[in-house]
Amino acid sequence: MWKTTIQKSDQHPLLIFAGGGSRARRSRLTKFCDWQRVTQGAWYLPDLASWRDHLLLENGLTATTIRAYLSTVRAAYRHILRSNDLRQQLYAAFADDVPPERKLAFITEFVTQLKNAIDPDNAPISALSIQDEDDTDHIWLTSSQVAALVLSPGLDTLKGLRDTAMISLILCTGIRAAETVSLNVEDLRAQFGGTLALRIKSGKGMKQRLIPYGAQDWGLTLTEAWLQRAGLTSGPAFVGMRKGDNFYLDKDHQHVRLSERSLEYTLQAYPISINGELRTVAPHDLRRTYARQLYLIGTDLTAIQQNMGHEYQDTTLTYIGTLDAKKRTPQDAYGSTWLKPLWDELAGDRDEMITIEGDQWDDIPLPQSASGGYVFKIWLHDVHPQIWRRFKVPTGISFRQLHDIIQIVMGWENFHLYRFAVGYYGFADEPMGAEDRYASEPISSHLTQSGTEFFYEYDFGDCWGHLLKLEKKLAKKVSIPRCMAGNRACPPEDVGGTFMYNQFLRSRKKRKGRVSRKWQELIGNYWDADAFDLRQANEELADFWAETTK
């Protein structure tokens, strides 16, 4: 009975007993079920380690995305284990003459094997951080890996643009981490022999040098785009930022220069696939990449040495003088045609991104335009550290559509009922009281001024309360919902509400990222409470909106 493979079933039991939910959830489950059919695996013994490797090696997904796929599959199997319908069907499959104790033994064994198969320890996901002290384990990125890294932060947020600019400038000039954070705005456009160059005022060994950009001037273009959007005209080229695209300011209300440690932490947020393994790179890995790529395209070896500020290359090079600027100007090292999406996005019409804290939004007049949009901030009530998102939506959506958008940007699985509370009224799919209305009503009828706050509750068992604030009304048309920023992963479904989730966070903190045994079955050892994938959220929003408007 238990040896039946997937091909002998009309439909995968996972879809029968645990299907449904959001479009993203259905898509993940369908992909897993199709993969199991191809590999002819037993549905009750899922090989999640092989599924993980397939997503990484065949699909090239990021660690955060793979965690989401595995979490969805595990949650579906846990739903099956809690299902009385499945147990009844399993009992009914036995012949009438099978003793009850043998039926119980078979089903208990089935449940045990399935629990073991979905244990997170059997398919861990981790990003390996690489340090540059070990001379035997350096990283040199290929052109495709450079493209993946530069495109990772995105341009949707001010911090994303800053990170893109920093990564690009190091790749385009080969400067050290300390030199990167020491740059001032006026250092970006120096002249060297009639060509545009980057000035390093005080490099290693107190040596000043000029680095011609050559064909790698796209690093300068992205850096200047960051400076323009951040409003920086002098002082540090790269400054520290708080959560939510806000700046660090000192006691004199001046921008705080980014530290070397912060630069290292920034790179750790963007792991890429290297030889089939997710790895994070250090600033010095980008510097090594610059040297190798220039060498591969035929740049003079001495020019590379002088651009990077090395005192010695080898004994012979100590006798070679400084080359002129023409010989030191490199060609296009990275095949930068892949930068076109960034140029298109920077050149296109974009809503102005303003860094404003707290109630300062209230002073901004709201243009009354039916074709505009709303900017919301949503955060999970009574959970610390705060889990929040900022997103924009068209004005004409309903409360039902707003619910679907919230499910995607927060990362919920759309398993449960919900209700909005706006002033006196409530909005739900099925009204539950005299004051409730149907969620098909447009939100624009009840959101008339900035600063409006209202309540969204999801899952009446766990009682996840969310607060929403209308931060801004946009005059320009918003054609598609879009997540602009966020922090931390939302809790797993059915974890038990804020009290239980906060207990989980305390357990995780005490054990330095791991959890006690009582939490492993429910959440798993490798669930990342700090993860938030902005790009994945926007991809799912685009899919949702395409399906909604077709």
**The 128-129 sheet, strands edge to edge:** 128-129, 277-280, 272-274
Q: Are residues 260 and 388 in the same domain?
A: no
3-class state of residue 537 by DSSP: helix
Alpha-helical regions (H) of 218-300: 218-230, 260-268, 283-296
3-class state of residue 327 by DSSP: helix
Q: Are residues 68 and 107 in the same domain?
A: yes
Burial class (CB in 10 A: 0-12, 13-18, 19+), 348: exposed
Q: Are residues 340 and 233 in the same domain?
A: yes
Tell how far CA 463 is from the center of its chain.
26
Q: Are residues 197 and 103 in the same domain?
A: no
Q: Are residues 209 and 318 in the same domain?
A: yes
522 belongs to a structural domain:
no
508 belongs to a structural domain:
no
Domain count, the chain: 3
Q: Are residues 275 and 160 in the same domain?
A: yes
Q: Please tell me what DSSP assigns to residue 489.
A: P
pTM of the complete model: 0.40
Q: Which residues constitute the domain of residue 24?
A: 6-122
Which of residues 323, 347, 371 is at a domain's end?
347
Which CATH number does the domain housing residue 539 bear?
Answer: 3.10.290.30
516 belongs to a structural domain:
no
How do the pLDDT tens digits run along the chain, 550 residues long? 444 433 444 577 777 777 777 777 888 888 888 888 888 777 778 888 888 888 887 777 777 778 888 888 888 888 887 777 777 777 787 888 888 878 787 888 878 888 888 877 766 665 444 333 343 357 888 888 999 999 999 998 999 999 999 999 999 999 989 999 999 999 999 998 888 999 998 876 677 899 999 999 999 999 999 999 999 999 999 999 987 788 888 888 889 999 988 899 899 999 988 877 888 899 988 988 888 888 878 888 888 888 888 777 653 243 333 445 555 667 677 776 777 777 766 765 444 433 333 333 333 333 333 468 999 999 998 888 889 999 999 988 999 999 999 999 999 988 888 989 887 788 888 776 666 788 888 998 888 788 888 999 998 888 899 999 999 888 888 989 999 998 888 888 888 888 888 877 777 666 555 555 566 556 655 567 778 888 889 999 998 998 887 6
401 belongs to a structural domain:
yes
The length of the chain, given as a count of residues: 550
**Cβ pair 421, 435 in contact under 8 A:** no
Q: Are residues 152 and 178 in the same domain?
A: yes
Which of residues 122, 137, 161 is at a domain's end?
122
Which of residues 326, 347, 368 is at a domain's end?
347
268 belongs to a structural domain:
yes
Q: Are residues 267 and 312 in the same domain?
A: yes
Q: Going by C-beta distance under 8 Å and a sequence separation of 6 or more, which residues neighbour residue 89? A: none
Q: Which amino acid is at 318?
A: T
**Cβ pair 532, 63 in contact under 8 A:** no
Comparing CA positions, the residue from 404, 445, 405, 407 lying closest to residue 423 is: 445
Q: Are residues 227 and 290 in the same domain?
A: yes
The pair of structure tokens assigned to 445 is 């009828």
CA–CA gap between residue 203 and residue 207 (Å, rounded): 5
Q: Are residues 220 and 330 in the same domain?
A: yes
Looking up tokens 């199991």, which residue turns up?
36
497 belongs to a structural domain:
no
500 belongs to a structural domain:
no
Which CATH number does the domain housing residue 201 bear?
Answer: 1.10.443.10
Alpha-helical regions (H) of 279-387: 283-296, 301-308, 325-328, 340-347
CA dist 254 to 240, 249, 488, Å?
Answer: 11, 5, 28
Q: Are residues 329 and 413 in the same domain?
A: no
Q: Are residues 68 and 176 in the same domain?
A: no
Tell how far CA 191 is from the center of its chain.
38
174 belongs to a structural domain:
yes
